[in-house]
Amino acid sequence: MWYNDSKYKGFIMFNHMDVELPTHTLSRIHEDGKRFYLTPDGGKYPSITTVLGWFSKKGIMEWRKRVGEAEANKISTQAARSGTSVHQMAEDHLNNIEWKNEKTMPYDIETFLKIKPTLDERVNNIYAQEKPLYSDHLGLAGTVDVVGEFDNKLSIIDFKTSRQSMIGDKYGKLEKYFRQAAGYAVMFEERYKMPINSLVIIAAIKDKDEPEVFTSKRDNHIVELIGMVEEYKNQF
């Protein structure tokens, strides 16, 4: 194994559901710093992360001003690199593939190991991973982390890494993540006729050994998401 801590030894085999999900080829393009997806029938939809990120822009600018541009760039670059690495480790783990990249930073490995027990104990029956999706109803597109069962409920499952706890949602991150997951639930149902109401956020926190796990329902967030999409489109 690529990790030695006895707490995490053992390799769980995850079941992947034998369900035929038609492939929808989506092309990604960037325009004016915004990501769009081109759908097979000629639609051009903004990425859900682009839309939600637009509403967070003011807070991000205030944070950059508070910590300074150099430090903000350093933190952002490290967070993006680590987040990508941890996502890849989680994806491989759920695909029953051992991570063997010796160039992986030790911090990233430790971050993944924080969420691994939750994956092993509470996630199974995988329907899709890193699946491009879109919704004509919402006019949005994006790529979902995982569609699978969490505590035996079909769920949208999203992985996050964070420098700070999201308990109490002081900065509104958790609500943003749930709106994103709610969008994926609508996209998945629209494409594959499989309703999903359970949303799960599994977050590895920098200074905590245990992950923070949050659950909610799609219907608690979809109305706000629709309103945000309409406001975003009215601006552009």
Phi, psi of 223 (to 5 degrees): -65, -45
pTM: 0.86
Q: Give the whole-angstrom CA distance, residue 179 versus residue 228.
A: 10
Can you give the residue ranges of every domain in the chain? 22-235
pLDDT per residue as tens, the chain (236 positions): 344 444 444 556 899 998 887 777 899 999 988 899 999 989 999 999 999 988 875 555 554 556 577 764 655 566 566 668 888 999 999 999 877 666 677 878 899 999 999 999 999 999 999 999 999 999 999 999 999 999 999 999 999 998 889 998 777 889 999 999 999 999 999 999 999 999 999 999 988 999 999 999 999 999 999 999 999 988 87
3-state secondary structure 70-126: HHHHHHHHHHHHHHHHHHHHHHHHHCCCCCCCCCCCHHHHHHHHHHHHHHHHHEEEE
Q: Give the whole-angstrom CA distance, residue 150 versus residue 161.
A: 19
For 21-57, give the DSSP string. ------EEEEETTEEEEE-TTS-EEEBHHHHHHHHHH
Contact indicator for 159, 173 with CB cutoff of 8 Å: no
Q: Give the whole-angstrom CA distance, residue 161 versus residue 105.
A: 15
Q: Give the whole-angstrom CA distance, residue 17 versus residue 148.
A: 9
Q: Is 51 left (phi over 0), alpha (psi -120 to 50) or beta?
A: alpha
Q: Which amino acid is residue 167, in one-letter code?
A: I
CATH architecture of 22-235: Alpha-Beta Complex (3.90)
